[in-house]
A and B are shown apart, each in its own frame.
Chain A
């Protein structure tokens, strides 16, 4: 089947620290990979995506590289800000699942001043 595993949270970092949130996947087929972010009280919004192996998605200082050999799509940011505090979801979409998104459990990030 198709599934996404991401690191458990919460993750607490000081402002300007380096962030890594691990995400690995299992898919029957060739998936597209996504990171969505959910700010408190809001719906999810796309942060970045990658649709083929070795692609790097990037947005707002965040980046993630589609690694087919390790089935991973880790999210990184060099210097986090308080405003990055949110829940981050890794997700995949693959044709044999009808293109619906399979989400990980989410990782809560808290950035302190």
Chain B
């Protein structure tokens, strides 16, 4: 299995530009999570989906952030317009289901720098 795939691995953009991060979960996994990692705040959950439906988006910082999961094998996280404070590493993770004991499998992350 290829694991969780994220693209791009690195993104450098200018303030005000739109940024789209992509994620392909592990085949057969029904749940998908987007996390953000910064030095100041550590790892934060942004949003998660179960069976392609957004379940909890309370961690999404503001309206500039949006996430979609059009099918079981693809999700996007979009930032429009981007700001320097959005600079972080964004991780996608997937799991078989949304259970307390489930293991989440993380992708390699997208390192975003907004200038």
Contact = CB atoms under 8 A, between A and B. Distances in A.
Partners in one complex: yes
Interface of A: 31-32, 34, 36, 41-46, 49, 51, 89, 93-95, 98-101, 103-106
Interface in B100-115: 100-109
Contacts of A45: 105-106
Interface stretch (B14-22, B40-48, B71-79): B40-48
B98 interface: yes
B60 to A, nearest CB: 13
B48 A43 contact: no
Given A98-B56, A100-B33, A100-B56, A42 B42 contact: no
A43 B103 contact: no
Contacts of B42: 103-106
Contact of B106 (A31, A41, A43, A49): A43
Nearest to B6: A43
Contacts of B55: 98
A34 B99 CA distance: 13
Contact of B99 (A49, A99, A105): A99
A101 B104 contact: yes
Contacts of A103: 42-43
Contact of B103 (A46, A89, A105): A46
17 contacts: A31-B100, A32-B100, A34-B103, A41-B108, A43-B109, A44-B93, A44-B106, A46-B103, A49-B101, A51-B100, A95-B100, A98-B48, A98-B98, A99-B102, A104-B42, A105-B42, A106-B43
